């Protein structure tokens, strides 16, 4: 299995709602990522988990809360979002072989989020 899967594909939520995005991979990768992508822009890194521990938080507002229940799963909990948070949210994973080596990141199909 060489895929990263994400659910749901689309999500519409109000500013007072609480929802969660889910990501799963079964490639044995130990690093998992959340990115936010606006139209016609590159992906922006939000969070990195390495061996199930949060290793990078790119100063993301607390209304976004990541969770890594195990090495195959990654969640992003959403609460009190703003309309400007509407974007494509991409999950990715990689082997995490350790610096200075690098390895490929594989992206999931994304969740298209609309905040109304």
Partner 1 sequence: GENVEQHPSTLSVQEGDSAVIKCTYSDSASNYFPWYKQELGKRPQLIIDIRSNVGEKKDQRIAVTLNKTAKHFSLHITETQPEDSAVYFCAASFKTGNQFYFGTGTSLTVIP
Among residues 17, 72, 75, 105, which is the contact residue for partner 1, using CB under 8 A? 105
Among 13, 27, 45, 73, binds partner 1 (CB under 8 A): 45
The one among 11, 23, 25, 43 contacting partner 1 by CB under 8 A:
43
Among 85, 108, 113, 115, binds partner 1 (CB under 8 A): 108
Residue 91 contacts residue 106 (beta carbons within 8 Å): no
Separation CA 72–CA 91 (nearest Å): 12
Rounded Cα–Cα distance for residues 29 and 40 (Å): 28
Using CB under 8 A, list all residues that contact partner 1: 31, 33, 40-43, 45, 48, 50, 55-56, 90, 94, 96, 99-100, 102, 104-110
């Amino acid at each position: 299995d060489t895929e990263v899967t994400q659910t749901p594909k689309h999500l519409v939520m109000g500013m007072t709602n609480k929802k969660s995005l889910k990501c799963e991979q079964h490639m044995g990768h130990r690093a998992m990522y959340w990115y936010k992508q606006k139209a016609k822009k590159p992906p922006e890194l939000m969070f990195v988990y390495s061996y199930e521990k949060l290793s990078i938080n790119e100063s993301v507002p607390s209304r976004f809360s990541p969770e890594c229940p195990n090495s195959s799963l990654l969640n992003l909990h959403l609460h009190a979002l703003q309309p400007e948070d509407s974007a494509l949210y991409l999950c990715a994973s990689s082997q995490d072989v350790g610096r200075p080596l690098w390895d490929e990141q594989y992206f999931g199909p994304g969740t298209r989020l609309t905040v109304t």
